[in-house]
Amino acid sequence: YPRLSRMALDYLSVPATSVDVKRVFSKGRMVLSYLRNRLSPTTTRALLCVNEWSSKGLLPDKEM
């Protein structure tokens, strides 16, 4: 079913709402403030990951 698989990729890859997108941009603004706007994409991605892991309790406080 090649056509069905392509349709599934089109429809299942679209977020149901824009709430997640807004949340990501909001977190990104906290990391990339106007004072810290020279962070590299790699550093920005790392900071967002650490923030997410910390909020889910995946990082012990002593590692922060």
How confident is the model over 10-60, as pLDDT tens digits?
A: 777 665 655 666 776 677 676 677 667 787 888 888 887 887 888 888 877
What residue ranges do the domains of the chain occupy?
17-63
Work out the pLDDT band at 4, boundaries 50, 70, 90.
Answer: confident
On whether the CB atoms of residues 44 and 28 are closer than 8 A, the answer is: yes
Structure letter (DSSP) for residue 58: -
Beta strands of 1-64 (E only): which ranges?
A: none
pLDDT of residue 64: 57
pTM for the complete prediction? 0.46
